[in-house]
Amino acid sequence: MGRILLQGTPVPAKPALIALKGTYKGVLKISILLAATYVAAQWLSSVLPAADYRALPWLGNRTAVWVVAELHLMFAAFVLGVPIFALITEIIGVVTSEQRYDELAREFTKLLAMAYTLTAVLGCILLVLFLVLYPKFTGHM
């Protein structure tokens, strides 16, 4: 566990401070991702000719939006479910006093950070698809 120096005396760091250390970086990354999404959507809208409706070649608009929206929703459901699994695993670990359940709960939380990031990326891709493929609709919304 990490240590924090307070007035020259090493004091064990609080677990909450250690856990939040990576959270700030994650929030910064997602904020940058959202800003980049906005810039990309604005750039694509200015480069593409004005239209009420644009079509993707080969794949089609509806299929592209459906695939990205479905993946986004699946990972969002996963992100909502993983903390429940981690909590149940922690409770089992406390009741049975077995270390393997504590380690499993930690692995769940590591997986949660990656899944949350992927959910945000898919949401940004979905936003770009809506803004570029359906400009009139998104302008109305």
Retrieve residue 46's tokens.
Answer: 């200015």
Query: Which pLDDT value is given to residue 69?
Result: 95
Per-residue pLDDT tens digits of the chain, which is 141 residues long: 455 555 555 555 556 556 556 667 777 777 888 888 888 878 877 787 777 777 777 888 889 899 999 999 999 999 999 989 989 999 999 999 999 998 888 888 888 878 888 898 899 899 888 888 888 877 777
Residue 60's SS3 state is coil
Domain ranges of the chain: 3-140
Taking the alpha carbons of 46, 52, 58, 63 in that order, is the dihedral positive or negative? positive
Alpha carbons 62 and 76: distance in angstroms, whole number: 21
Alpha carbons 113 and 32: distance in angstroms, whole number: 16
Query: Which pLDDT value is given to residue 1?
Result: 46
Question: What region, left, alpha or beta, does residue 60 occupy, with left being phi > 0 and alpha being psi -120 to 50 degrees?
Answer: left
